[in-house]
Amino acid sequence: MRSVFSRSVAVVCLAAALGAGAVGCGSSTPVARPAVTPASAAPPAAAASATPLPRSEPVRVAIPAAGVDTGPLLKLGLNADGTVQVPPVPQADRIGWYTRSVTPGETGPSVLIGHYDTVDGPAVLRDIAKVRVGDRITVTRADGTKAVFAVRAIQEVAKDDFPTRRVYGDTARPELRLITCGGDIVGGHRPDNVIVYADLVR
C-alpha cells in the first residue's frame, strides 16, 4: 500500500479542515460509550478467505447498526501541517475517505473518518456506540461492487495515545478503519478517538 504515515495523525477529529479555530468534535451532545473490545482480537474466520478487490474508490458507506447510509464520500488528504484532514463542519453528515490509504477492499487498511458531533450538533457517527463486534459495514465502490466488512474490534483511546501504526500500518489482508471522536468535552474538544477495526468478508 502507499505510505500513510504522517506527522501528528493522532489529531484526527481535533479540528475541521475548514481552517484554524473551527472545532471538529465538540458540542453539548452527550457521548454514548462504545462497546470497547481489544483491538488485537482474532479476526472472523471468513476474513482470511475473502478475496482482495482491485482498486476502486469508495462512493457510499452503510453501517446499519449505527443508522448510517451516506454518500458520496469526501476525499480527505493532509493539512499543510501534516495532520489528517477531517470532513468540514458543514458536511458533518458525510464520511470521508483518507486518500493516502488503499481503497476499501484492497489489501491493506482503508481509512474512513467521520464526526460524532460538531459545534452545530450531532453528526453522521452520532450512534457509533450502537455498533458491536460482528456488525457489517458495506462500502459501495465506484466500479459498482460492494466491499462488506465485519467489525472485529472497537477501541477508544486518548488522542495523545493514538495507535498510529496499528491504524495506518500495512496489513496482509483487506481491512477497514472507521475513526471518530469520543470522550466528554474538555476545553471545547473531545479528547478521545473511537476506532472501529473491520475485516473484509465478501
Q: In a 10 Å sphere around its CB, with 0-12 CB exposed, 13-18 middle and 19+ buried, how is residue 29 labelled? A: middle
The reported pLDDT for the residue numbered 188 is 86
Looking at residue 42, its pLDDT comes to 45
Q: How far apart are CA 140 and CA 133, in angstroms?
A: 21
Distance spanning both ends of the chain, measured CA to CA: 20
DSSP per residue, 69-126? EE-SPEEE-B-TTSPBP---GGGTTS-EEETTSPPBTBSEEEEEE--SEETTEE-TTT
In the prediction, which pLDDT does 27 show?
A: 55
Q: Which CATH class is domain 9-26+47-200?
A: mainly beta
Please report, for the chain, the start and end positions of each structural domain, with discontinuous segments joined by +: 9-26+47-200
Which residues in the chain come in under a pLDDT of 50?
1-24, 41-47
